[in-house]
């Protein structure tokens, strides 16, 4: 885990998203933080003495996030909100025929961020895919525009952007087997979660020392 100066010390950070963020937290794993990157961050020097809340829910698409946004995120009056969502918007197109229009995805995601208090720090994490089957290769045509939407929103809202997809795929390009990071291409292994946590800390720390 990359060491960092304390970030958001004494503040509250809410992590929202799908199963990558959830990672068992609803079953009480990790003391309610899950067993993934959120717990790793909560235990890191980078979030020392920071209140970390995990509000990830497995299977969520951006429209699901919208339905629980006020009750799970806004009500907590967070100093910072970190969001990773989008892979299920893509996945449901291929396993359930539920296509998510890119313009609608962008508009719904933007509406979430607009509901936060103006002084809330925002961290946006790219949804990612590490194809492990031939069929998953075709998912890129749907996921890439959603990643572009996240990058666009990061610019619009002055958010920290965590280039999750770019970083994880660069590890694969350098010789790391994709299954070592995400067995099914989507759900991270412990090694994958560690890489995500490192990427988050590096991106947030880089912004904080500007």
Catalytic residues: 19, 184, 187
Q: Let me know: does 17 contact 87? Beta carbons within 8 Å.
A: no
Secondary structure class of 5 (helix, strand, coil): coil
Residue showing tokens 């609608």: 104
Residue showing tokens 């994958």: 192
Residues 6+ apart with CB under 8 A from 83: 15, 16, 17, 65, 112, 122, 123, 124, 125
* Sequential DSSP letters for 156-167: HHT-EEE-HHHH
What gap in Å lies between CA 92 and CA 82, rounded to an integer?
A: 23
Q: In what order do the strands lie in the sheet with 160-162?
A: 51-54, 12-17, 80-84, 121-125, 160-162
What gap in Å lies between CA 84 and CA 203, rounded to an integer?
A: 14
Q: Let me know: does 46 contact 3? Beta carbons within 8 Å.
A: yes
């Amino acid at each position: 885990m990359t060491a960092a100066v304390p970030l958001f010390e004494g503040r509250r950070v809410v992590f929202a998203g799908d199963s990558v963020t959830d990672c068992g937290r609803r079953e009480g794993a990790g003391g309610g933080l899950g067993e993934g990157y959120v717990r790793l961050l909560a235990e890191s020097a980078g979030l020392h003495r920071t209140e970390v809340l995990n509000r990830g829910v497995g299977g969520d698409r951006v429209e699901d996030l919208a339905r629980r946004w006020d009750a799970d995120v806004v009500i907590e009056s967070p100093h910072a909100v970190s969001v990773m969502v989008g892979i299920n918007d893509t996945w449901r197109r291929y396993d359930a025929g539920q296509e998510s229009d890119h313009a609608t995805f962008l508009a719904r995601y933007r509406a979430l961020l607009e509901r936060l208090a103006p002084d809330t720090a925002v961290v946006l994490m790219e949804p990612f895919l590490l194809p492990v089957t031939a069929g998953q290769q075709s998912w890129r045509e749907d996921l890439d525009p959603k990643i572009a939407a996240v990058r666009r929103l990061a610019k619009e809202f002055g958010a920290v952007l965590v280039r999750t997809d770019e970083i994880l795929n660069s590890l694969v390009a350098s010789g790391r087997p994709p299954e070592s990071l995400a067995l099914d291409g989507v759900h991270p292994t412990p090694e994958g979660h560690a890489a995500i946590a490192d990427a988050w800390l590096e991106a947030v720390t880089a912004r904080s020392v500007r």
